[in-house]
Amino acid sequence: MRALINACVLTPEGYKDRQSVVFEDGVIISVCEGKVRPENAVVMQDLGGLKLLPGFIDVQLNGGGGILFNDCPTVEGIKTIGEAHRKFGTTGFFPTLISDDLDVMARAIEAVEAAITQGVPGVLGIHLEGPFLNTEKCGVHDPSKFMNIGPNELALMSGLKAGKTIITLAPEKTTPDIIRTLSERGVIVCAGHTQASYEDAIQAMDAGLTGFTHLFNAMKAMESRRPGIIAAALEDKRGWCGIIADGHHVHWAMLRLALRAKVGDQIFLVTDAMPSVGATQKSFSIGDETIVVKDGKCVTGDGTLAGSDLDMISAVLNAVDKLDVDFVQAVRMASALPARFINMQDRLGGIRAGLQADFILLSADQKVEKTWIKGQAVSYETSV
């Protein structure tokens, strides 16, 4: 049994000063007031009144530390990506595979299975972003990889035994029956890179679709008489919306409007991060396309956005600065809300008894000073 004492803890009820957090075997036992050293507990650290936050969860993470998951669908690749993002507060993540061939998808799924089995810190499952997308909204995805969903693809997509699987597809490029089958097999189905109409989106949600990948980006725009998929995502309480809060993917005004319009508390932060995050090298390749980080955004030679150079603590701070949300809500958008989206709120996303001991310690200047995953700590230079 271990304890962190004298912390300003962000609990489900808000900040509480002078708290002690006790955990054992990677699970929180109690959160109690005062500099308490429980019987039989080893005090790991007096946190000196600094903020202790729940760990961040990123459900769309293409790469980091110089690694693109597509190029390195291995346990070591996943480990490198996770370590790169952990220093920015991400303690739970879904390695995300951009549209690729079936054999690469199979290797990626096997790698995630092995990573979870071997206990690689933070891995929660896999996100397959494509290749079942609309060529009219391909973005940086290679449309030559796009395909329809048949029995073999269904079996592959629902084959992960350990962890969760998220699928991003274009609803108009498949059928409600296929969406229903995926949902019934436990897959979290999202819409993205799509020209779906409002009616297509509602029909897909009726069949089990629950998520919208990087809201606004690579989606049919709203019009007065053709509201499209974005209106359905914001209006329907079944829809969970990921947003990239970097100031490049979506204008801040549109994100503010989305937060005001969305029915329910169901907009959460993602990074859509690329290999440049946590790496000194600020260029990389996707297939034959060279991507460079320019003015804080990842772009191709013709200026097409190609994922982001965003990390989670920056996304949280951006939300506070630009989206008219307070710090507590911004942290919820990076922790409790994605945990609810993936239906893991009974394990992740907060600091209370019974949840996994995943924490972030912030320095006084709001940099990530230390993280814990399942109670295991890693420290960082606060200048990072």
Residues 66, 26, single domain; the answer is no
pLDDT of 384 higher than 50: no
pLDDT of 149 higher than 50: yes
Q: What is the DSSP letter of 152?
A: H
Residues 337, 254, single domain; the answer is yes
Contact of 55 with 89, CB cutoff 8 Å: yes
Give 48-104 pLDDT, tens digit per residue: 999 999 999 999 999 999 999 999 999 999 999 999 999 999 999 999 999 999 999
Residues 69, 172, single domain; the answer is yes
Cα 314 to Cα 40, 310, 330, 341, 376, distances in angstroms? 38, 7, 11, 21, 23
Q: What is the DSSP string of 5-29?
A: EEEEEEETTEEEEEEEEEEETTEEE
Residues 16, 91, single domain; the answer is no
Give 190-221 pLDDT, tens digit per residue: 999 999 999 999 999 999 999 999 999 999 99
Asked whether residue 144 is domain-assigned, the answer is yes
Between 9-23, 221-235, 322-336, the lowest mean confidence (pLDDT) is in: 9-23
Count of domains forming the chain = 2
Range of the domain at 112: 56-341
Asked whether residue 384 is domain-assigned, the answer is no
List the CATH number of the domain containing 93. Answer: 3.20.20.140
Asked whether residue 279 is domain-assigned, the answer is yes
Strand partners for 11: 14
Residues 192, 292, single domain; the answer is yes
List the CATH number of the domain containing 21. Answer: 2.30.40.10
Residues 282, 367, single domain; the answer is no
Give 290-347 pLDDT, tens digit per residue: 999 988 899 998 888 899 999 999 999 999 999 999 999 999 999 999 999 999 999 9
Rounded-to-integer distance, Cα 9 and Cα 355, Å: 14
Q: What pLDDT is recorded for position 86?
A: 98
Which single residue is written with the structure tokens 């990842």?
Answer: 298
The residues assigned a catalytic role are: 272
